[in-house]
Chain A
Amino acid sequence: MKILKRDEAIVGVVIFLFGAITTFLSLKMPIGTLRMAGTGFFPLCLGILLMILSAAYVFRLFVQYKKIVIQKETAVKTPGAMRQMGLFLGAMVLATLFFNELGYPLTSFLLMAALLRSLGMKRWAFNILLSFITAGVSYFLFVQWLKIPLPKGWIGL
């Protein structure tokens, strides 16, 4: 006997809602005729198709399982792993946010240092050295050698 996981059903419903929103927004555009389809015609078809597919998926989830036991996804992630993930994502978001202002070499150095630290690289000296080397190599590869225009930022490199 299989167990129905609540998360699977929720994902199916979320996809259904995405299809419904697409359909709703498409209806606000010109639909046209079959002979001369308008801007909203194709996304309307796709929205309806997605709703049908996701409804069929959720329906099958309920029908296929002989014994329906709504089971909440067990949280296997430790608080440490979640913190690690949060720090990792935060570093990426901050780097993107200040990419233009800080410039490529500084952003890549700070990003590397933050990511290494978030993954548990405790020795600061090694962390900084590795980040410096990585930032330097990538700067010479992309900016100096491939001549790719990357943000210079306030340090002007």
Chain B
Amino acid sequence: MFESLQYLATGFTIAGTVQNLLYCLIGAIVGTLIGVLPGIGPIAGIALLIPATFGLNPTSAIIMLAGIYYGAMYGGSTTSILLNVPGETASVITCIDGYQMAQKGRAGPALAICAIGSFIAGTIGLFGLVFLAPPLAEAALAFGPPEYFSLMIFGFIVLSNVTGTSLLKALMMATVGLIIGTIGLDPVTGDARFVFGSTYLLGGIEFVAVAIGLFGIGEVLTNVQQPQELLEQKVTIPRFRDLYPSLQDLKKSIASILRGAGIGFGVGLVPGPAPVIATYASYMIERKISKHPEEFGKGAIEGVAGPESANNSACQSAFIPLFVLGIPFAPPTAILLGALLIHGVSPGPLLISQHPGLFWGVIASMYIGNFILLILNLPFVPLFANILRIPKKILLPLVILFCITGMYTVNNSIPDIWVMLLFGALGFLMRKWAYEGAPLLLALVLGPRLEIAFRQSLMISHGDFGIFINRPISMVFLLATVLFLIIPLIRMTLKKQRKEG
């Protein structure tokens, strides 16, 4: 433990040089801007800026790229809260309560709690990274296809329980998302499925198009059909003293932040899109343990604080499998792996001994980066919150322009814009009939991984479904899934009996 602290101190010396501080600052600023622009998420952001790091030494390059990563994750929450447009996947859940808070004139506290929660979660994540990296990385290795499959099933049920009012509707949407996720090449055999002769569909349905369509365009279309007088109206304008969270807001949020940080750190070690799962799991837990679960979905600050902290914490712990095992479990860390290889660094068990400066320097820079983000973003809260002063009849066309531009920049593809518009219309209809978009979106992301895990598990067991209950970790997840399905039913029955009694 003492040795780790010594190494961390060395890391701070490396990250604290003027040059590295500057790159960390640039990364955090550029990342925030990228996150704020809908469509250009951390993946596209890091990919676009890798060439800019060619002239730098590996440590400075990774410090800057890591800064873009967590800066974008923070920036993504800003558009979620203000415009209901998730800048990246992990911000989808922030839309639920963050946007509702903004509609009630509480965009400032929502944005500020994101920055504060992210910083606290970042601090916890840093210590977790330093002290728990080696043993936790080993634990993550115990996850095989059956465990992974059960974990994802658990995630779906959890998500379906937390979103909307009808479990059946949420499960239907998750299944529709999984079906859409099967479009393209079979991840195991490489055969084409549901492509109807289109080369575009071979690559599958672009996730960003679905996300922006369902949430961004869908929301805009819902607004457009409102009468003229409503379009002239501005969203409730926050007073200056309402721009920052009150003491009561902080009191309400602190436990959620700490829980979110813990959940995010744990989930970040598991293969898969960790920040997405972490945010959903955190939201679900916050709603389950809240004394006022009915406030969730209507602007509960805990519904923003918990998931945003989980998001940040998961981003940090996702560096453990990347650095220690050389295995990226999420797309942004996969791009970072590419950047490391470009700079001649091979991540793996020998990274810490061969490149201690890089490993500890990057870890220390993450903490500095989180601090920079807090300092940068808190003063900008009023500026961001005031975006809502723009009348809807001007704001809505602006959102559409940014959505179309952002969508095109992801793959330089016009068909992606068509898909976005199609899902925009679907999102509009789903809102009309009270169907949630979040389960569909998560299913679309996790679908291919779920299928691979499912088919690999059956291959391992020679077609025996017992593999999912014979392995302890998998069984625990499945048991938890069953409990999540049964408990609400038991509660409902008891309530009914009490009423009748």
B207 at the A/B interface (Cβ < 8 Å)? no
B404 touches A47 (CB 8 A): no
A36 to B458, CA, bound (A): 7
Beta-carbon nearest neighbor of B178 in chain A:
A46
B408 touches A46 (CB 8 A): no
State the main secondary structure of chain A at its contact with B.
Answer: helix
B171, B226, B394, B397: most-surrounded residue (chain A CB, <10 A): B397
A115: B residues at CB distance < 8 A: 396-397, 400-401
A57 at the A/B interface (Cβ < 8 Å)? yes
How many residues of chain B are within 8 Å of chain A by beta carbon?
54
B431 at the A/B interface (Cβ < 8 Å)? no
B462: A residues at CB distance < 8 A: 35
B189 at the A/B interface (Cβ < 8 Å)? yes
Shortest Cβ distance from residue B419 to the other chain A in the assembled complex, whole angstroms: 11
A116 with B397: in contact, given A37-B458, A56-B168, A99-B417 (CB under 8 Å)? yes
Shortest Cβ distance from residue B394 to the other chain A in the assembled complex, whole angstroms: 7
A156 at the A/B interface (Cβ < 8 Å)? no
Shortest Cβ distance from residue B26 to the other chain A in the assembled complex, whole angstroms: 14
A68 at the A/B interface (Cβ < 8 Å)? no
B166: A residues at CB distance < 8 A: 57
B221 touches A99 (CB 8 A): no
B186 touches A39 (CB 8 A): yes
Identify which of B225, B231, B404 contacts A77 (C-beta below 8 A). Answer: B225
Beta-carbon nearest neighbor of B456 in chain A:
A37
Identify which of A35, A89, A92, A96 contacts B458 (C-beta below 8 A). Answer: A35
State the main secondary structure of chain B at its contact with A.
Answer: helix
Shortest Cβ distance from residue A32 to the other chain B in the assembled complex, whole angstroms: 9
- What residues make up the interface of A, taking CB atoms closer than 8 Å to B? 7-8, 11, 15, 18-19, 22, 25, 29-30, 33-43, 46-47, 49-50, 53-54, 56-57, 60, 77-78, 80-82, 84-85, 88-89, 92-93, 95-96, 99-100, 104, 108, 111-112, 115-116, 119-121, 130, 134, 138, 142, 146-151
A60 to B172, CA, bound (A): 14
Beta-carbon nearest neighbor of A56 in chain B:
B168
A7, A108, A116, A148: most-surrounded residue (chain B CB, <10 A): A148
B169 at the A/B interface (Cβ < 8 Å)? yes
B175: A residues at CB distance < 8 A: 19, 46, 49-50, 53
B194: A residues at CB distance < 8 A: 25, 43
A80 with B228: in contact, given A57-B169, A85-B221, A142-B405 (CB under 8 Å)? yes
The 8 A-B residue pairs with the shortest CB-CB distance, nearest first, are A34-B463, A115-B397, A35-B463, A119-B393, A39-B191, A50-B175, A39-B186, A43-B182
B421: A residues at CB distance < 8 A: 92-93, 96
